[in-house]
Amino acid sequence: MFILSLVMAVLMVGTTPPVVVLEGEKGGTVDGKPFSTEMIKGKVYLVIYADPDKRDLNEDFAEAIKKQQFDKSRFGSIAIINMKATWIPNFVLNGILKKKQEKYPNTIYVKDYDKVFVKKWGLKDDDYNVMLFDKEGKLLFYKSGKLTEEDTRKVIQLIKENL
C-alpha cells in the first residue's frame, strides 16, 4: 500500500513530472521517432493518455476543445496510446494511428507499448487520462475517467489563462 501511494503521488498539480522517454520496444511517435516528455514545454499542452477501448469516453470534451480554435503556435496536443491496454492487435492500432496523424497533423500521436506512463507517472491504467501542462511543463490539471461539463470549463479556462 505504501509503494502504491508513492507511485500515485508522482503526478501532482503544480509540479513537473519526471521525464519519460519512449523509444524502440517501449514505443515512440507514429512515424517511429523517439518521444520524450521534455518536449512538453514552450506551449500549453493538452496530453491525453488513453486505453484505445476508451477513446470515445470524452468525445464531448474533445469537441469543446476543438471549438475553441486555440492558437497552434501557443497550444499543442499529444495523444499517448496505451497499446498494452487493449485486445486490438498492434498492427491494426498502428494503421488507425497513422490515419489519425494524417487527419489531425497538429496532434502528436505516441505509442506506449509497455505502460511506461502508468508505471512512471502513476496514471490510471485501462482508462482515459487528461492532463494539461503550462509552458514550463508544470501540471495544471489531471483527471482520469469521464470528464464533467465543469471539468471541461475548467480546462478551457486554464488554457486561456496560460496561453
Q: Which pLDDT does position 103 carry in this prediction?
A: 81
What is the side-by-side strand order in the sheet with 128-133? 27-29, 107-112, 75-82, 44-50, 128-133, 139-144
Q: What's the confidence (pLDDT) of residue 1?
A: 40
Question: How do residues 54-105 score in pLDDT, each as one tens digit?
Answer: 988 999 999 999 999 999 999 999 999 999 998 888 889 888 888 888 888 8
pLDDT for 7 beyond 70: no
Q: Which of 4-13, 16-25, 129-138 has the lowest mean pLDDT?
A: 4-13
pTM of the model: 0.91
User: Residue 71 is which amino acid?
Assistant: D
E strand intervals along the chain: 21-22, 27-29, 35-36, 44-50, 75-82, 107-112, 128-133, 139-144
Q: Quick one: what percent of the chain has pLDDT higher than 70? A: 94
Evaluate whether 84 touches 116 at the Cβ level (below 8 Å). no
Cβ neighbours around 65 below 10 Å, total: 19
Sketch out the chain's domains with CATH numbers: 2-11+19-162 (3.40.30.10)
Distance (Å, rounded) from C-alpha 131 to C-alpha 11? 10
The stretch 133-154 carries a mean pLDDT of 97
